[in-house]
Amino acid sequence: METVETVPADTDVTTADRTAPGGAAGAGPGSAPAVPVFRAPYDWPAIEECVRTTGAAIVPGLVDRSLVDAFNRELDEWLERNPRQAGSNTGSELYDKFLGRKTLRVHGVPGKIRASHPLITHPEIVACMRRMMSHWSNEILLSVAELIQIGPRESAQLIHRDTGSWWPHLPREEHPWNVSAMVALTPFTHETGATRVVPGSCRWPLDRRPRGEQIARAVMDPGDALIFRGDVLHGGGANKTRDQARRGLALSYCAGWLRPVDNNMLAVPPRMAADLDDELLALLGYVAHDATHVDGGLVGMYDNGDPLGALRRGELG
């Protein structure tokens, strides 16, 4: 975690709801910054260039509502069987505040909610992630799939960069090695805690702090996705409602040779992985990363071979 919050948590800031059919929309001259919005038909080169340069873009309607509804139904059933309390008890007061005292978080989602699988392997999301990280790696891994449900009366999350999970001082260059998609599962509004984003902060020095007027809000409907670099400053917004939770699925991907935040091979152990498709298993780490085409080597092997082959032969238990 690399937090840089310096403005009041409930500072009112601009939204990213300036839109135009078929293209990007953003702030007008003299207005506060907004996260650019790209409507269908999606211009993926423009979207990816926007994420690369400004740090984030909103893609409305990217995920079909049937997938959102299926995920929400299965999640509700899972939570009924496995009651969870909002808030965290990590032993660190600062980290508990960062995670949110009224925020429900569920990690290891692919091993708990099967309806997450078509979201994790969503063709357009995965293709975007592969292209954006192709400078660093010929493949990608799922770093974390996390359910984030901001409860009523929750304060705003500390502004931070996701890349701080690895090492804050790793090089931050034109091409990112960590990119995420926050999929809205319920409405993301000013009142419910729409994600706060600082456009352009992926190019800032680590010690630069945002001012309130530099922070935008990602206002989204269910099925919309906020795609952002891991090194852009962002954080959950304050939920000012009395009875509405803001639910989102954070899908974070990283270069295929980088250690993910979550240990997905423990979240989805071999006995569970055996009946899953190869594409999902590759994202979870069941395929070795091969860099021999650029005079590199292989990482993530099992017994000097490909773990997916061993899994399919029944050698992993």
Beta strand pairing call for 2-3 and 160-161: antiparallel
User: Nearest to residue 58, comparing CAs of 145, 189, 181?
Assistant: 181
Residues 190, 202: Cα–Cα separation, whole Å: 24
Contact (CB, 8 A) for 240 and 9? no
Per-residue pLDDT at 13 exceeds 70: no
Sole residue written with tokens 């699988």: 117
Residue type for position 40: A
Instruction: Name the CA dihedral angle for 222, 228, 230, 234, rounded to a multiple of 10 degrees.
Output: -70
What stretch of H or E contains 56?
A: strand 56-59
Query: Three-state SS for 201?
Result: helix
pTM comes to 0.90
Sole residue written with tokens 């008890």: 89
Per-residue pLDDT at 14 exceeds 90: no
Token pair for 29: 């001259």
Sole residue written with tokens 């601009």: 14
Per-residue pLDDT at 297 exceeds 70: yes
Per-residue pLDDT at 20 exceeds 50: no
Query: Three-state SS for 237?
Result: coil
**Number of neighbours of residue 281 by Cβ within 10 angstroms:** 20
Contact (CB, 8 A) for 226 and 217? no
Residues 103, 151: Cα–Cα separation, whole Å: 5
Q: What is the pLDDT of residues 178-190, one digit of tens each?
A: 999 999 999 999 9
- Which residues in 243-277 are b (16+ Cβ under 10 Å) and which e? ebbbbbbbbbbbbbbbebbbebbebbeeeebeebe
Sole residue written with tokens 């975007």: 128
Query: What pLDDT is attached to residue 164?
Result: 92
Q: What is the pLDDT of residues 91-120, one digit of tens each?
A: 788 778 788 888 999 999 999 999 999 999
Report how many helices (DSSP H) and strands (DSSP E) the chain contains, helices first. Answer: 10, 16
| Backbone φ/ψ region at 89: left (φ over 0), alpha (ψ -120 to 50), beta | beta
Per-residue pLDDT at 152 exceeds 50: yes
Sketch out the chain's domains with CATH numbers.
2-265 (2.60.120.620)
